[in-house]
């Protein structure tokens, strides 16, 4: 059987025929900016334009939660910009801070969700105990994908896709606060719309590498499955027992 050596000329020919990673910097930077705009639009009235520290939020933990999660979005924009400008050395150093920030986000996400449970907060159509499954599973999705992103930090294509999808998992709260009747206060509609971000990543994969990247495929499936089964789980008696225990613990 004849084989063809992977010579520099062959690699260059392949890179010319497939757009590949030449446009990665532009795409992932654009996605980070789009996520920044999504979050700002959702929380502008109640948080960012309300003065952040002076915003009338219901509890101190929600202030901390908002500040730390905002730092994550800004870090995402910064990290994609650093890669685009060739400062991978700084990007890697900031990555350690990013991992620690992500760990803090998971803890704060659970605490903020428990605080909302204790206050009886829930969107129309759900009780607080059932809705408690949403922030808890958000943190499950986020922490799982961040863990694998950290393990894949030497595999740039997988790493950045896992980071992006982990962040997409957090967007429902922002989209459900957009000042549009179709989304405002409607987490189901907001969740479905958040899949547009996944579809954009899938479309980019198909265009750039002629297939859906493995990280996009499995992380996207994981995100969708957990989000689709969580409300039915939240309606069960065992979950309500767990939520009541968490409410008592947090009160």
Q: What is the 3-state secondary structure (H, E, C) of the chain?
A: CCCCCCCHHHHHHHHHHCCHHHHHHHHHHHHHHHHHHHHHHHHHHHHHCCCHHHCCCCCHHHHHHHHHHHHHHHHHHHHHHHHHCCCHHHHHHHHHHHHHHHHHHHHHHHHHHHHHHHCCCCCCCCCHHHHCHHHHHHHHHHHHHHHHHHHCCCCHHHHHHHHHHHHHCCCHHHHCCCCCCCCCCCHHHHHHHHHHHHHHHHHHHHHHCCCCCHHHHHHHHHHHHHHHHHHHHHCCHHHHHHHHHHHHHHC
Q: Give the residue extent of every domain in the chain.
A: 21-250
**What's residue 6's pLDDT?**
42
Q: What is the pLDDT of residue 250?
A: 66
pLDDT (tens place) for every residue of the chain, 251 residues total: 343 444 444 444 444 445 556 789 999 999 999 999 999 999 999 999 988 888 889 899 999 999 999 999 999 999 999 999 889 899 999 999 999 999 999 999 999 999 999 999 988 888 999 999 999 999 999 999 999 999 999 999 999 999 999 999 999 999 999 999 999 989 889 999 999 999 999 999 999 999 999 999 999 999 999 999 999 999 999 999 999 999 988 66
The confidence score (pLDDT) of residue 141 equals: 98
pLDDT at residue 5, rounded to an integer: 42
């Amino acid at each position: 059987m004849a084989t063809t050596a992977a010579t520099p000329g062959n690699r260059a020919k392949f890179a010319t025929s497939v757009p590949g990673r030449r446009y990665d910097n532009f795409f992932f930077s654009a996605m980070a900016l789009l996520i920044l705009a999504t979050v700002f639009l959702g929380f502008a009235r109640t948080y960012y334009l309300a003065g952040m520290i002076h915003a009338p939020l219901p509890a101190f933990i929600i202030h901390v939660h908002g500040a730390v999660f905002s730092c994550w979005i800004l870090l995402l924009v910064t990290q994609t910009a650093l890669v685009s400008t060739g400062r991978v050395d700084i990007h890697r150093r900031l990555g350690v801070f990013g991992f620690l920030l992500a760990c803090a986000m998971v803890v704060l996400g659970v605490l903020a969700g428990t605080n909302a449970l204790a206050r009886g907060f829930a969107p129309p159509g759900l009780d607080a105990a059932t809705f408690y499954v949403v922030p808890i599973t958000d943190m499950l999705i986020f922490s799982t994908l961040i863990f694998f992103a950290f393990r894949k930090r030497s595999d740039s294509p997988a790493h950045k896709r896992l980071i992006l999808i982990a962040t997409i998992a957090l967007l429902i709260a922002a989209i459900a606060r957009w000042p549009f009747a179709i989304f405002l206060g409607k987490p189901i509609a907001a969740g479905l719309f958040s899949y547009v971000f996944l579809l954009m990543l899938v479309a980019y994969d198909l265009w750039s590498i002629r297939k859906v990247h493995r990280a996009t495929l499995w992380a996207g499936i994981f995100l969708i499955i957990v989000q689709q089964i969580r409300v039915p789980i939240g309606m069960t008696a065992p979950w309500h027992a767990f939520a009541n225990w968490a409410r008592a613990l947090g009160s």
